[in-house]
A and B are shown apart, each in its own frame.
Chain A
Amino acid sequence: MNREKVIFAFFIVLALTLNFGFFVGDTSNPNHHNVYELYAALVISLICTVLKFGDRTHVGAMMLATSLVADLQLVAAAVIWGYAAQVGGGVDELILASVVSLSGGALMANILSVVLLVVETVMVRR
């Protein structure tokens, strides 16, 4: 068992699950979407990105790309939320809907990331 691989897989799967946890529920219902969950998803996604740095293989490059996409979407979601809450007129249904849909996009990227992880594992056959 490779400790590094365990940590790597742990963070990638955690990024997916947290993201899914935030995303799931009624799109415009504030009770279904916890701000702490979005925060956790964002932080874990950033850590995942850094973990994928410096891998020279093709799969590694793909994984880094998916991670960067997830970061981009989650940061955009967080910025929209923060701007609406502090500067704009508060988090209404419309804002929440766009935040949740952005996190949905990030979810897709995270799913791809996990798929790639599985593909890589299957390729190793050990």
Chain B
Amino acid sequence: MNDVIYILLRRLRAPLITLIVVYAASVLGLVLIPGVDDQGQPWRMDFFHAFYFVSFMGSTIGFGEVPYPFTDGQRFWTLACIYATVIAWLYSIGTLLTLLQEPAFGRLMRRRSFVTEVLRLREPFYLICGYGVTGSQVVKKLAARNIRTVVLDLKQERIDALEMDGLSIRVPRLCADASLPDVLHDAGLRHQHCIGVLALTNDDQANLAIAIASKVLVPERMVISRTESDVTTANLDSFGTNLVVDPFRSYAEYLVLTTHAPYTHLVYDWLLNPLHRHMATANKRMEGRWIICGYGRFGRALCGTFRQAGVELTLINEGSDDLIPPLHRVRGIGTEAVTLQDAGVGDAVGIVAGTFHDADNLSIIMTARALNPKLITVVRQNLGENDLVFQSSRADFVMEPGRIIANRILAQIKTPLLPVFIERMLREHDDVWAHVLLNRMSHVVGDRELDSWGIRLCQEDTPALLMRQPGQTLKLRTLMKDPRDRTCSLACLALMHRRGTEVRLLPGELCELQEGDELLFCGLSEALHQMEWTVNNYNLLQYLLTGRENSDSLLSRLLNPGGRR
């Protein structure tokens, strides 16, 4: 990465040679031209004096004619030299300044400082390619957990936006094409502390290139990619990408859950979305016929998933009949009352406004609500800038691809146990079970953000938990007590306990823990900070287990020989 210096030197060749030649010619001329000394004797300037004179003349300092006043011949030559040296200097300095101001040079300098910054990272970090809605959400949440990130994006505006976001930790960033291997390499793809690569650009090919580069170089490292087509999804899965998020498909799955299991849907929503929906929303009637407006990528994913779940559908779309499954279908956009009435908006239970245009989508739900106030409205938001309008649209669900991907990815990064829990819940438990769980969650966090975290009993993560005295058993209850006061409990809930392949959802408080066990908790993030004290600090753990507060120092052990240990 000495490109900068090489380019600088290469471009400076011509001005430097000009300077040398002008100086050499000036000095030589002064030495050769005969002069007279103060006694009127013929005298010739030597190299030393000539160089001295040219040095101050060239820099326009001008001490006068030394050591003796010049003859007219010498003055002639000096006149030529003055102009030549000034022009040579202007030329050299001008070239240097142009070089420093050149965008290419600035880019090289930025790249260089980025590379040094990444190389100096001494903590685990995630490499994030693409800083759009998704990328910024992920970076912000990771920064809140003090996890370092490195950001690449194609557009300078987004990199500037990152600078303005005011994150609590420094994020190295570069404006470059992340699908190029050398850019990825500079961003730390082979860095020993890079623990995950997130391909979040809006170009499927670029995501594919990033994912495959990472998998080829370090196969065991986590790679998460977003995708917008089934072909790319299949391709990404084929070489073992850890998580592939298709926003349309995942939203369709999320939405279809509301139709037959509203409480399970809410549990899922609470665990994944930072701004979760209120419990009362589950009381709305969801089963019945749905209307879908627009048959783009989102509409297609919805139709497929809804049909699989056996939901009755009416489709409103413009354009040709090609590729459309046999459904009850009405032609039009859905923004006019006539079209909606044709589609039977009066007895439908919900409407999805899923076209490419935000204004159309808003218009659809406003019209539909005027016709049937009880309708459940789902609106697709295409542009992040329209946040304000959509927030005040009073739609029941706002579908924004960027946020969906961010939430899915954060769930995976927070703890890999969370997806396991959700999958088990969907497969094994009914809505009543979810309702009970939801009540417990609500009791713990109320309306605040429900955070979730995983704990693994091992030497690296939880040293205190493995340093128990003989005979002491560790129960789940101990972990959930407040280390500041053992009579209080932390605002958290144990969701899952995993030992090897044996998985138990909602483990009891008396469940005994062993080395190698994994636990999934949800609750307030303050509870996580307190729990970190318990699992890392031996004294606090002993206090929670026995109720005695010993400092366990050498002095206290000497003073208290009958005590523990």
Pick from A24-32, A44-52, A106-114, A118-126 the stretch touching chain B.
Answer: A44-52
Partner pick for B17 among A36, A51, A82, CB 8 A cutoff: A51
Pick from B20-28, B248-256, B314-322, B407-415 the stretch touching chain A.
Answer: B20-28
Number of chain A residues close to chain B: CB under 8 A: 15
Partner pick for B7 among A36, A46, A54, CB 8 A cutoff: A54
Residue of A nearest to B48 (CB): A82
Enumerate chain A residues within 8 angstroms of B426, measured Cβ to Cβ.
none
Residue of A nearest to B6 (CB): A54
| A46-B20, A50-B17, A51-B13 given; 11 more Cβ-contact pairs under 8 Å | A39-B27, A39-B47, A43-B24, A47-B17, A50-B20, A53-B16, A54-B6, A54-B9, A56-B2, A78-B47, A82-B48
Are A56 and B6 in contact, CB atoms less than 8 angstroms apart? Answer: yes
Q: Is A86 an interface residue (CB 8 A)?
A: yes
Report how many A-B pairs have Cβ atoms within 8 Å: 44
Q: Is A85 an interface residue (CB 8 A)?
A: yes
Enumerate the 3 nearest inter-chain pairs by beta-carbon distance, A residue then B residue, closest first: A54-B10, A53-B9, A54-B9
- C-alpha gap A56/B10 in the complex (Å): 10
Enumerate chain B residues within 8 angstroms of A54, measured Cβ to Cβ.
6-11, 13
Q: Is B12 an interface residue (CB 8 A)?
A: yes
Of residues 55 through 107 on chain A, the ones whose CB sits less than 8 Å from some CB of chain B are: 56, 78, 82, 85-86
Number of chain B residues close to chain A: CB under 8 A: 21
Q: Is A35 an interface residue (CB 8 A)?
A: yes
Give chain A's interface residues, CB within 8 Å of chain B.
Answer: 35-36, 39, 43, 46-47, 50-51, 53-54, 56, 78, 82, 85-86
Smallest CB separation, A52 vs chain B (Å) = 9
Contact sample, A vs B, 30 pairs, CB 8 Å cutoff: A36-B31, A39-B27, A39-B28, A39-B47, A43-B20, A43-B24, A46-B20, A47-B17, A47-B20, A47-B21, A50-B12, A50-B16, A50-B17, A50-B20, A53-B10, A53-B12, A53-B16, A54-B6, A54-B8, A54-B10, A54-B11, A56-B2, A56-B6, A78-B47, A82-B47, A82-B48, A85-B46, A85-B48, A86-B48, A86-B49
Enumerate chain B residues within 8 angstroms of A46, measured Cβ to Cβ.
20
Enumerate chain B residues within 8 angstroms of A85, measured Cβ to Cβ.
46, 48
Task: Determine the main DSSP class of B at the interface with A.
Answer: helix
- C-alpha gap A56/B8 in the complex (Å): 12
- C-alpha gap A63/B8 in the complex (Å): 18
Chain B CB count within 10 A is highest, among A36, A50, A51, A86, for A50
Enumerate chain A residues within 8 angstroms of B16, measured Cβ to Cβ.
50, 53
Enumerate chain A residues within 8 angstroms of B12, measured Cβ to Cβ.
50, 53
- C-alpha gap A126/B16 in the complex (Å): 31
Smallest CB separation, B203 vs chain A (Å) = 33
Smallest CB separation, A125 vs chain B (Å) = 25
Residue of B nearest to A53 (CB): B9
Partner pick for B47 among A35, A50, A53, A56, CB 8 A cutoff: A35
Enumerate chain B residues within 8 angstroms of A86, measured Cβ to Cβ.
46, 48-49
Are B13 and A50 in contact, CB atoms less than 8 angstroms apart? Answer: yes
Residue of A nearest to B46 (CB): A85
Residue of A nearest to B24 (CB): A43
Enumerate chain A residues within 8 angstroms of B48, measured Cβ to Cβ.
82, 85-86
Enumerate chain B residues within 8 angstroms of A51, measured Cβ to Cβ.
13, 17
Enumerate chain B residues within 8 angstroms of A78, measured Cβ to Cβ.
47
Enumerate chain A residues within 8 angstroms of B10, measured Cβ to Cβ.
53-54
- C-alpha gap A82/B28 in the complex (Å): 15
Enumerate chain B residues within 8 angstroms of A39, measured Cβ to Cβ.
24, 27-28, 31, 47
- C-alpha gap A50/B14 in the complex (Å): 8
Residue of A nearest to B5 (CB): A54
Provide the B33-68 mask, 1 if CB < 8 A to any CB of A, else 0: 000000000000011110000000000000000000
Residue of B nearest to A54 (CB): B10
Enumerate chain B residues within 8 angstroms of A56, measured Cβ to Cβ.
2, 6
- C-alpha gap A36/B31 in the complex (Å): 10
Enumerate chain A residues within 8 angstroms of B27, measured Cβ to Cβ.
39
